[in-house]
């Protein structure tokens, strides 16, 4: 029988053990985190105060920004702390809490992206019915499902993480508490956790991505039938931002969670995790701002108004 050990805290090995690089990474990720907060909170405020951004598309976008703020905040502050700390520890309870919110927010985000794809399908393929079918009540119900489902699934997944047993190795080869590196150092309860992680991730990624792909299949068909070049250009511009966000987020998560945890996959996953926990939340507001005419006009008006106010 393995010699199970009671766990009070873990050691997060982080991105590197080199002191000089740790200081450099601290500066880089601090700037990235500040930009992420300013960009996403700014997007939420801009959407809430701008009349022309009160459509369902921007309602869902504001929730995507809201989730990105919490997604990044769940990981980055502890990572920044450990980059300057000698101990680099996280409590057992803190690790479970971080796992819970991470899994919850991942599920919320993938289904918000699916809801946004469905919204674009309704707007482009059923424009005459869009206003009545995508009412405020419907939008609230659609956005509620990812939150309720994501936090419910995460509770179950975190209970399975709680079921892992450890035998003296408390060093997590990562910069936050993620399932694959935890499974790698566990010595009991591994099979059910590893199996359920892959199955749940596979089911949810497949289902949500199917909604996106089916929606865009109908969108492409509808756009190709449009006679107006301006109409096609506008349709592709509004969908282009969303497709970019979907590609980045799904691509990195599939690489991370649809593989069995090995020493090599955990090491590679650590590098990929930097992208989806820090870089993608920072890029999303930029993607939707630079590629969206309505958002750019709202930003320009807000800047002009601010300058006139001075």
Distance of CA 73 to the CA centre of its chain: 11
Kindly list the distances between the CA atom of residue 310 and the CA atoms of 49, 151, 301, in Å, as whole numbers in the listed order: 19, 44, 14
Long-range interactions of 183-192: CB distance < 8 A, separation 24+: 183/261, 184/261, 184/262, 184/263, 184/266, 187/2, 187/4, 188/2, 188/4, 188/164, 189/160, 189/163, 189/164, 189/165, 190/164, 192/160, 192/163
Single pTM value for the model? 0.89
Q: Where are the alpha helices (DSSP H) in the chain?
A: 19-49, 56-84, 92-125, 130-133, 136-162, 179-185, 190-224, 229-257, 263-274, 280-290, 293-309
**Cβ partners under 8 Å of residue 139, min gap 6:** 56, 59, 60
Between CA 181 and CA 35, with CA 14 as vertex, the angle to 5 degrees is 115
Per-residue model confidence (pLDDT) at position 256: 66
List CB contacts of 211: < 8 A, sequence separation 6 or more.
114, 117, 118
Identify the pLDDT of residue 258. 59
Rounded CA separation 68/105 (Å): 8
pLDDT tens digit sequence for 97-108: 999 999 999 999
Spatial separation of the C-alpha atoms in residues 283 and 275, rounded to whole Å: 10
Q: How far is CA 164 from the centre of its chain?
A: 25
Distance of alpha carbon 49 from the chain centroid: 25
Residue ranges of the chain with per-residue pLDDT less than 50: 1
pLDDT in tens, 107-125: 999 999 999 999 999 988 8
Residue 151: predicted pLDDT: 96
């Amino acid at each position: 029988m393995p010699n199970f050990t009671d766990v009070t805290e873990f050691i997060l090995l982080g991105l590197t053990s080199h002191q000089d690089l740790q200081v450099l990474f601290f500066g880089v990720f601090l700037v990235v985190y500040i930009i992420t907060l300013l960009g996403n909170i700014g997007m939420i405020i801009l959407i809430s105060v701008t009349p022309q951004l009160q459509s369902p598309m921007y309602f869902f976008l504001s929730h995507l920004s809201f989730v990105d703020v919490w997604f990044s905040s769940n990981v980055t502050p502890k990572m920044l702390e450990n980059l300057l700390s000698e101990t680099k520890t996280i409590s057992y309870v803190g690790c479970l809490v971080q796992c819970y919110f991470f899994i919850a927010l991942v599920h919320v985000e993938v289904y918000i992206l699916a809801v946004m794809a469905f919204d674009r399908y309704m707007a482009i393929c059923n424009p005459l019915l869009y206003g009545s079918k995508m009412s405020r009540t419907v939008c609230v119900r659609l956005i509620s499902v990812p939150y309720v489902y994501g936090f419910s699934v995460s509770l179950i997944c975190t209970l399975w993480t709680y079921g892992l047993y450890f035998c003296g190795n408390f060093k997590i080869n990562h910069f936050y508490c993620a399932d694959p590196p935890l499974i790698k150092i566990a010595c009991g309860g591994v099979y059910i956790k590893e199996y359920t992680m892959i199955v749940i991730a596979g089911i949810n990624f497949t289902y949500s991505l199917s909604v996106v792909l089916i929606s865009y299949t109908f969108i492409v068909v509808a756009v190709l039938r449009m006679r107006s070049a301006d109409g096609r250009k506008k349709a592709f511009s509004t969908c282009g931002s969303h497709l970019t966000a979907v590609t980045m987020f799904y691509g990195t998560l599939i690489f991370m969670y649809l593989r069995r945890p090995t020493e090599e996959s955990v090491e590679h996953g650590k590098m990929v995790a930097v992208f989806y926990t820090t870089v993608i939340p920072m890029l999303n507001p930029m993607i939707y701002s630079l590629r969206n005419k309505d958002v750019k006009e709202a930003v320009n008006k807000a800047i002009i108004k601010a300058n006139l106010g001075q």
